[in-house]
A and B are shown apart, each in its own frame.
Chain A
Amino acid sequence: MQDGISLHHAASDDPDDRALASIFTAYTVSATFWLLFATAVGVLLAFKFGAPDFASGAWLTFGRLRPIHTNATFYGWASLGLVGVSYYVVVRSSGTQLYSKTLAWWGLALFNIAAVAGTIALDLGYNAGDLEYREWPWPIRIIFLAALVVTGWNLIATVAQRSTEEIYLSNWYILGGVLWTCIIAIVAILPWYQYGLGQVAVSGYYMHNAVGLWFTPLALGIFYYALPKLLNRPIYSYALGVFAFWTNLVFYPIIGSHHFLFSPLPWWLQTTAIVFSVAMLVPVWGGSANYLLTMRGRVRDMIHSYALLFIFVAVVNYLLSSTQGTLEAFRSLQEIWHLTNFTVGHSHWTMYGFITFAVWGGVYAMLPLATGKSAGRLGLALHFWMAVVGGTIYVLSLSIGGTVQGLDWVHGLPFIQSVVDMQPYWVWRGVGGTLMFLSHIVFGWNVWRMTYGRQGNAASPVLGPATEELA
């Protein structure tokens, strides 16, 4: 199976390699556009907390832009970014060529059509309800489902024609993630079991499964390819990776109702969700340990490879933010934190600190191998540090502010006091968010350097003896 992750020729003249490079490039460029758009909207939203009368027309009102921000982040940025890297990982780790270039381009078009149509619909006030992460009207979500089906078909067929005996671990996670998400999308669309409280139960299921069985497995699959590749050493334990795969699959789908603790959902459903939220520590700690042990003793290498540094931050955030999620699911802590901005801090710690850093790590590790061009160190450094500092300010300010907000309620203060007390934390959130946005502009520049930029600056992100081979 080590064949699967052995070094592959970078930027060859082989037409299949060039086609894969242009598909990887197109997905990444597309994703970068969505990242810039979604986070520009995010900055505007953050600004509105301090200046509610700024940009106050119907098309720019908070309630319409808020789902545009989340959906564009989920289905524009993170989905396209992860699928792009996944195409490269699946093809290379299977020691074969892509099954169908046409399907890959169709998938790209469908993902983008869905995201554009969804954004326009939400801005015009057409939505399927204020249902977290599934606000797009159902016909648009069918387009997204079609993109998933096309992608799953292409990836499975690619793995089916692999030249290796084993199916490399990355592909377990990636194929699983795509197929499970098809089921999630179908469950979310069908209406027959979604009336009143029944829809609340489906919302609980959906909003956590869409995160934990789509973004998480793809990001984890990318780690399993990128780390051995960057470090030129095998994964610490293949068996632990398989164990984390199955436990993640079984535990994750059960925890969704923890978003509705103290609601009229049946108490047993809420309690089951809490129990399995604790069980999630098994795949989270198991998986994180596997990645960190693979990196053991190579901390100094991060000085030389920003790709490795991005993935290291993503792994650490996966460990910490998921553990935080388990703690948050306890009723005693939910009493204070539920419905406050603490939750917003948590969702950014996971979607940004973990998933977004994972996409960046994957792109910086593999896009230069595909195109033969790399980003400059200054651009990488600026991107990394602004994103880390900005993200930290963002999460800290909302976590502290959310706690203050929750305690204000517990102390029975007039409600408006919790709004007044949040103001300084919202300002700091805006500062953090602005830094994050600036780092995305630098990321856009880095993507340009790695794709359309000048040839011949290919400093490989791969460390160790392999570096010389590649150079």
Chain B
Amino acid sequence: MNKLVLIVGGSTLVYFCLAMLMGVIPGYELSKTPPGPGVEPLTGLQAEGRDVYVAEGCSYCHTQQVRPLNQDKIFGRPSAAGDFAYQTPELLGSERTGPDLTTIGTRQPSEVWQYIHLYNPRAVVPQSIMPSFAWMFDVVDELPKGETAVPLPAAYAPAKGTVVPSQQAKALVAYLMSLKQAPLPPGQGGAMAAAATPAATPAAAAVAPSTGGFDAAKGNAAVNDDDPTLHIHTVLYGAHDVIIGGVTYGSPMPPFASQLSDEDIVNIIDHERSSWGNHGKPVTAAQVAAERAKGN
């Protein structure tokens, strides 16, 4: 009997101490981490959306942690302890089959894009393997007052009826929109994020892959015009309800003036002017600076 007590009791006591040391005590201490400057709790609808995010297991493919590594710079500055103060259950994730979503509210701020993407990701990113969340949308015969239809491309839209987001989808998108990083005070690692190269900026990552989803930039008059003013203005300050080639683009294009330097914008504009059969003249940083100086 004594042997049994020694082996079973002794090893369990050792394990109990180690569990306290490596699980409970770090958990207890870190649970007290105060929120970082500018880190706010979620509002009602955003919190509801976070529950949807958790229930559907989004974090099995999307991390919410930016590591202090070069390859993570496209997702924002490195995550800081204070970023997670209001995040229970935690959603750091262990796999990145899809991109990190720490700053998706900044990187892809168009609600309409998010709705189309949730309804069927392949409608906007043909190579995507994300599941469709079509069950979070309703198909109605007549658009209810105050609702906005999801402008799906014909190939992905239902045969008849109009697609509107359900409460679940609205909450989820409100949550995704809320995913932004509060800037760190100077001296707390902000410099690392600032060093991002043009190729690693969010807009470049979004533009680079192929023409898929970029029909609006293909053969666009503003892109091919020798006078780049409108083109530069659009990238700096965004656009909405633009008619290109007879198609009205209802989903807004986000402004990039506050996120991108003049050099980044030159790179993106030149890329657009030389891709998909476009032959616009390259622009200079001075032209961008001049347009920026004029303001919106």
Query: Interface of A with B (CB < 8 Å)?
Result: 48-50, 52-53, 56-58, 61-64, 66-67, 125-132, 156, 159-160, 166-167, 172, 175-176, 179-180, 183-184, 187, 192-203, 205-206, 209, 213, 245-246, 249-250, 253-254, 256-257, 259-260, 262-266, 269, 335, 338-341, 343-344, 409-410, 412, 414-417, 419-420
Contact = CB atoms under 8 A, between A and B. Distances in A.
Contacts of A259: 94
13 contacts: A56-B131, A130-B60, A130-B91, A160-B4, A176-B7, A196-B85, A197-B30, A197-B31, A200-B90, A262-B65, A262-B68, A341-B95, A412-B71
Interface string B120-151: 11100101111111110000000000000000
Contacts of A127: 54-55, 57
A419 B128 contact: yes
Contacts of B11: 172, 176, 179-180, 245-246, 249
B209 A254 contact: no
Interface stretch (B18-26, B230-238, B260-268): B18-26
B19 A183 contact: yes
Given A156-B8, A179-B8, A410 B27 contact: no
Contacts of B22: 205, 253-254, 256-257
A262 to B, nearest CB: 4
B236 to A, nearest CB: 23
Contact of B84 (A48, A53, A196, A246): A196
B94 to A, nearest CB: 6
Contact of B60 (A67, A199, A264): A67
Contacts of B209: 414, 416-417
Chain B CB within 10 A, most for which of A202, A259, A410: A202
Given A63-B56, A201-B27, A201-B30, A196 B131 contact: no
A374 B75 CA distance: 57
Contact of A52 (B8, B32, B57, B130): B130
Chain A CB within 10 A, most for which of B16, B61, B88, B208: B88
A131 B27 CA distance: 14
A62 B90 contact: no
Given A197-B81, A414-B205, A128 B89 contact: yes
B56 A52 contact: no
Interface string B16-48: 101101111111111111000000000000000
B19 A187 contact: yes
Contacts of A339: 63, 93-96
Given A176-B15, A179-B11, 9 more contacts: A67-B60, A127-B55, A127-B57, A175-B8, A194-B27, A194-B31, A209-B23, A265-B26, A339-B93
B97 interface: yes
B12 A176 contact: yes
B23 A202 contact: yes
B92 interface: yes
Contact of B23 (A130, A159, A196, A205): A205
Given A67-B60, A187-B24, A130 B89 contact: yes
B248 interface: no
Contacts of A176: 7-8, 11-12, 15
B57 A130 contact: yes
Contact of B14 (A250, A264, A410): A250
B212 to A, nearest CB: 9
Contact of B54 (A130, A184, A264): A130
A432 B59 CA distance: 25
A73 to B, nearest CB: 15
A213 B54 CA distance: 28
Contacts of A194: 27, 31, 88
B96 A412 contact: no
Given A63-B56, A193-B27, A264 B80 contact: yes
A416 B125 contact: yes
Contacts of B3: 166-167
Contacts, number: 241
B284 interface: no
Chain A CB within 10 A, most for which of B22, B63, B89, B96: B22
A117 B254 CA distance: 45
A158 to B, nearest CB: 11
Contacts of B89: 128-131, 199
Contacts of B95: 339-341, 343-344
Contact of B19 (A166, A199, A205, A414): A205
A129 B92 CA distance: 11
Interface in B181-197: 197
Chain B CB within 10 A, most for which of A176, A197, A206: A197
A249 B57 contact: no
Contacts of A249: 11, 14-15, 18
Nearest to B34: A196
B87 interface: yes
A376 B60 CA distance: 41
Given A52-B128, A156-B8, A414-B208, A253 B26 contact: no
A264 B230 CA distance: 43
A263 B79 contact: yes
B83 interface: yes
Contacts of A56: 131-132, 134
A262 B69 contact: yes
Contacts of A269: 26
B211 interface: no
Contacts of A416: 125, 127-128, 209
B239 interface: no
B31 A198 contact: yes
A125 B30 contact: no
B7 A183 contact: no
B167 interface: no
A203 B26 CA distance: 11
Given A160-B1, A176-B8, A199 B15 contact: no
A276 to B, nearest CB: 9
A197 B57 contact: no
Contact of A132 (B12, B19, B94): B94
Contact of B97 (A57, A179, A192, A419): A419
